Amino acid sequence: MRLPECLVVRVNVVAAAVSLSAAVVMAAPANADPVNCDGPTCTPGITPGVVLGAPCSDTGYFVFGTAVAGPSILPGRLVFCGSPRRYEPRYFRSPSMAGVKEFDSECAGYERWVAQAPDGLFLICQSQNGAPRWRRGDA
């Protein structure tokens, strides 16, 4: 039995998205220093296969995921779980991600980027009194 062409294309797109998501989400090697991680490919705890705009539960820890679907989304795109104005949390497109960084450390050059602390805390680089520091992203 031959599958309809549209089904074959959908299966191929989903397979490509899963492969791309797996590549982005690979865990850091056990001997790697997570604080020297400078991007999403070495960041532990990224959830694969989420849908942009879908509900999510934790806006404080391990908030990142890779999208497989959603309005105007490219498969494998980095997303994060957020709650704007304290509405129900959902997945949004992520700003540029700097990997794993230490809370309250200096972040000049990464202003408005996001990161994850070694314990999974969601961080954003914000200037306060003229000094850019990694602050809580869920605050």
Q: Taking the CA of residue 45 as centre, how many other CA atoms within 13 Å lie in the half-sphere pointing to its CB? A: 19
Closest alpha carbon to 18 in 66, 64, 60, 87: 66
DSSP per-residue codes, 92-135: EE---EEEE--TT-B-TT-TT-EEE-TT-BEEEEEEETTEEEEE
What are the pLDDT digits (tens) for 47-66? 999 999 999 999 999 999 99
The C-alpha torsion from 26 through 59 and 104 to 113, rounded to 10°, is 60
What are the pLDDT digits (tens) for 72-128? 677 789 999 999 877 899 999 999 999 999 999 999 999 999 999 999 999 999 998
What are the pLDDT digits (tens) for 20-52? 333 333 333 443 455 579 999 999 999 999 999
pLDDT of residue 25: 38
pLDDT of residue 72: 66
Going by their DSSP bridges, the two strands 97-100 and 90-93 should be labelled as unpaired
Q: Is residue 129 predicted with pLDDT exceeding 50?
A: yes
